[in-house]
Amino acid sequence: MGVRGVRLVNEGLAFLLELLALAALAYWGFATGDGIVWKFVLGIGAPVVAAVVWGLFAAPRASFGLPVVGVLAVKAVFFGAAVVALVVTGHPVLGALLGVVAVANVSYTTATRGKRSQELGDHPVA
């Protein structure tokens, strides 16, 4: 597998991690909400808010361009919230696994962002 293949796999993994983080936030909301109304408010609201923030600031085609450090901060809060959500709902091993894989994925993406842009001839994305 060449460099492009590794990057493609990493991008697929990034998308999967984002979906898993949203699922963790939904699970947390439904598990911790007090009463059916709060379960739905938190179970649907938490991942929706997280997805909106991600789309605005951290997605490859984010609405608002941030410097790399800003994008990394948004990603840290996003994945950190998902890790905490898993830990407080009794799934610390899953939380740790999500955290470790997310850090590795974001680190690889950040480290290769300039190289990828030069190869593709476009603007760098985080």
Per-residue pLDDT of the chain (126 residues; tens, 9 = 90+): 788 888 899 999 999 999 999 999 999 999 998 999 999 999 999 999 999 999 999 998 999 989 999 999 999 999 999 999 999 999 999 999 999 999 999 999 999 876 654 444 444 444
Cα(54)–Cα(87) distance, rounded to whole angstroms? 22
Q: Which amino acid is at 109?
A: T
Return the pLDDT at 64: 92
DSSP annotation of 53 reads H
Q: What is this structure's pTM?
A: 0.87
CB contact at 8 A, 66 and 55: no
For 27-66, give one letter per residue: b (16+ CB within 10 A) or e: bbbbeebeeeeeeeebbeebbeebbeebeebbbeebeeee
Return the pLDDT at 121: 46
Residue 126's nearest CA partner among 56, 48, 50, 69 is 69
Return the pLDDT at 83: 98
Cα(88)–Cα(81) distance, rounded to whole angstroms? 10
